[in-house]
Structure 1
Amino acid sequence: MTITRRNLGLLGAAGAAMLAMPSVVRAQAPRVVRYTHFQPGRLDQPKHAAALAFKSTLEGLTGGRMRVDIFPAGQIGPAPQVMEQLRLGSLEMAVVHDGGISGTYAPYQVFSLPFIWENQAIAWKVLDGAFGAEMAEDMRRRANIRLLGHADNGVRHFTNSKRPIVTPDDMRGLKIRVQPAPVFVKLVESLGASPSAIDWGELPAALAQGTVDGQENGVTNILAASLYQHQKHITLNGHVYSLHAYLMSDRFFNRLGNEEKAAVLQATEIAKVIHRGMTTAQDANAEPILKEKGMTVQRLTAPQIDAFRQKAQPAVRSWLEAEIGREWVEKLLSATRAATAG
């Protein structure tokens, strides 16, 4: 066959088109959001139900231009590792509990001030208002992590295998597991018990082996890890309103187009509502849920709770002010007073 100049031109154009094809394919490939959290990958778990809602919403809003891959149950790694990956931009998104955040962004410890919020409605006013926005901007600036929103990790209560706890004096002599965050160590010490910092993944074994007598967590986490199997008693004292934060690498977020950014924010709002609703329902029904699991439940009166507050709050506040500065503590208390009055 004689190759004419015209044929050479056609062959050249075809070759150029073939060379260009990989870049076209790459341009059409979805932008992947790797999304990790620390609860089991089951629909009865608020974190996972919310993650699935985020995935469905974001992929729908972007017409498949963004894809969400979910990694439940800490599959990416422990919280400090996840936070570092978010900071560096090597992980796109995570929902992390409050204790896991503080090692990277210390001011988040302020939410561990005990007995500050009477109910979820007050907490949400503070978190969704000016205080929450100021903290989000500070985290973005200092840690390169974008705080998209807050949801519940459950109102935290004390459980143990030894005896009912009704007064702070009942805590004396008990070995209580706390998450690896110094502020929780100070909280338990202030009530006369012996704190032991143990990672979440090691907690069931520590309770089963008697390494510790008890622990403190919300209903959601007690159910998620079946902690009731090794804990006979729970006291519904609600010492800390624990949080989960929806976090995204700021580097990743800034690479998104305006429509994609808006879709991420909208998907987060939907996930947050589901997450909050499921956790709040479990907290509100703590007594029947945990009695059904075989636990004895102590529901404290307001004066009994105040006895815990009088011992714990001054000690923890003093520690927090020394650790992160008085400004964040004062701002949180001021925002709480305004939310309560409003």
Structure 2
Amino acid sequence: MPSWKSYDFTGFTTGGGQTMFKELKIGRHGITLGLAIAMTGLGIMTAVSGAQAQEITARLSFHWGPKHPAAIQAFEFAKRVNERAAGKIKIDVFPAGQLFGIREIMGAIAAGSVEMGGTVGIVSFPRIDKNYNVTAIPGYFSSFENQRGFFENTPEGKKVWDNIMAKAGITVIAYDPVGPMATFSARDNLDTVDSLKGLKARVLTKPDRTRWSALQVGKMVSLPTREVYAGLQSGMVDTVTTVPGAIKGYSWWEYLRSAQLPYQAFADAYIMANASWFNGLPDDVRKIMNEVGAEISKEATDSIMAASDAIIDEFAKRGAKVTTLTGSELAKMKKLEREVMEPGYAKLVDADVFAALKRYTGR
């Protein structure tokens, strides 16, 4: 896996323009795109002709900070494509939410306000098809590959995936998982299930609310990624469920003192493109991008668990207390997940999809 230290991030043009994206509304009749205006320095995305001789310029936007494992892979994707397709396409990278945040990027790609983006599935996809929430149910999937198999190899899962791609008008170029989910807190210790009671927990998704409610936290605060650091700094929140890469990549660990394992779920993410734009590229350019995408998918997936474990070890070396629930405490958590959380999660998806999940995972 490439190290962030090896990159000269200034080499990726970020431009001087401003982009305003109002909203992406998804209703019962499908997607209604809100106003997307690309202003000075960014331009309006136009169809790409196979006969174009001049170099194509494309933007890749993501919210991850440069040290985040997913950002490192996204930079590597752009670097390889730029090298192999020299003179044909140039990808300019906009990291750390310079253009769009974690909640805005899907709408921006769909609207054509940016050609490509890094999206986190559990944040972006349920607004298009609620059934993607199956990925947030703890204890069902055993790995990223196992989770992806549900959408590739079951009729119900494939229907969900195809629906998301079609409604949003997007296509996946590469898998770029952000990591397994764990709980981190500013409290000194999270060594029991009851130690989670009374916390001020950050919420990002609907499944977050289901889990925190079952654990009887004291307060839930909805915060996008870019506001979590300030939230921890001010004491607005003191606990987050997130991937290890986030606590290092956004420096949240400056205010966090403890972690609770085992990992709860697998947060998959993707390098995606506006489908109309991508399909309009010259065949040779698409071929290069797909080849690089396949490489990054394998490398990112193969390395993310080890990278996440390494960050947990680094967190402990900084003085944090890391607890892996075992024995009676683990049994207590599993009982809560099965008897209290699972019925709540089931309400977030269609009955046939939940039944398919149980069949697929043997539960």
The answer (yes or no) to whether the contact 1:206–1:212 under 8 Å persists in 2 is: yes
The answer (yes or no) to whether the contact 2:244–2:312 under 8 Å persists in 1 is: no
What residue is the counterpart of 2:272 in the other structure?
A: 247
The answer (yes or no) to whether the contact 1:167–1:308 under 8 Å persists in 2 is: no
Distance change in 2, residues 1:167/1:78 (3 Å): same
Q: Deviations over 1:216-248 (max 9, x none)?
A: 112111111222211111111312222212221
Letter in 1 for 2:87: G
Letter in 2 for 1:186: T
Flag the structure with higher helix content: 1
Q: SS where residue 104 of structure 2 aligns? A: helix
Distance change in 2, residues 1:247/1:130 (3 Å): farther
Is 1:183 matched up with 2:207? yes
What residue is the counterpart of 1:157 in the other structure?
A: 182
Superposition misfits of 4+ residues, deviation over 6 angstroms? none
Distance change in 2, residues 1:169/1:62 (3 Å): same
- Using the TM superposition, name which of 240-249 and 123-132 deviates more: 123-132
User: Superposed, which structure 2 residues align to 1:112-191 within 5 Å?
Assistant: 112-120=136-144, 122-123=146-147, 125-126=149-150, 134-179=159-204, 181-191=205-215
Letter in 1 for 2:73: A
Q: Please point out which of 319, 326, 331 is paired with 2:344.
A: 319
User: Superposed, which structure 2 residues align to 1:1-342 within 5 Å?
Assistant: 27-41=52-66, 44-101=67-124, 102-120=126-144, 122-123=146-147, 125-126=149-150, 134-179=159-204, 181-193=205-217, 194-301=219-326, 304-337=329-362
Unaligned runs of 5+ in 1: 1-23
Deviation at residue 264 of structure 1 after TM alignment: 2.2
Larger Rg: 1
Deviation at residue 276 of structure 1 after TM alignment: 2.6
Letter in 2 for 1:184: D
- Rounded to whole Å, the distance in 1 between the matches of 2:288 and 2:160 is 22
Letter in 1 for 2:89: M
Deviation at residue 282 of structure 1 after TM alignment: 2.3
Q: Compute the TM-score of the two structures, normalised by the length of structure 1.
A: 0.81
Q: SS where residue 216 of structure 1 aligns? A: strand
- Rounded to whole Å, the distance in 1 between the matches of 2:148 and 2:139 is 15
- Using the TM superposition, name which of 156-165 and 70-79 deviates more: 156-165
The answer (yes or no) to whether the contact 1:32–1:67 under 8 Å persists in 2 is: yes
What residue is the counterpart of 1:8 in the other structure?
A: none
What residue is the counterpart of 2:46 in the other structure?
A: none
- Rounded to whole Å, the distance in 2 between the matches of 1:233 and 1:165 is 6
Distance change in 2, residues 1:257/1:129 (3 Å): farther
- Rounded to whole Å, the distance in 2 between the matches of 1:233 and 1:87 is 38
% identical aligned pairs: 16
- Using the TM superposition, name which of 215-224 and 166-175 deviates more: 166-175
- Rounded to whole Å, the distance in 2 between the matches of 1:326 and 1:273 is 33
The answer (yes or no) to whether the contact 1:55–1:68 under 8 Å persists in 2 is: yes
The answer (yes or no) to whether the contact 1:159–1:216 under 8 Å persists in 2 is: yes
Say how many residue pairs are matched: 311
Q: SS where residue 80 of structure 1 aligns? A: coil
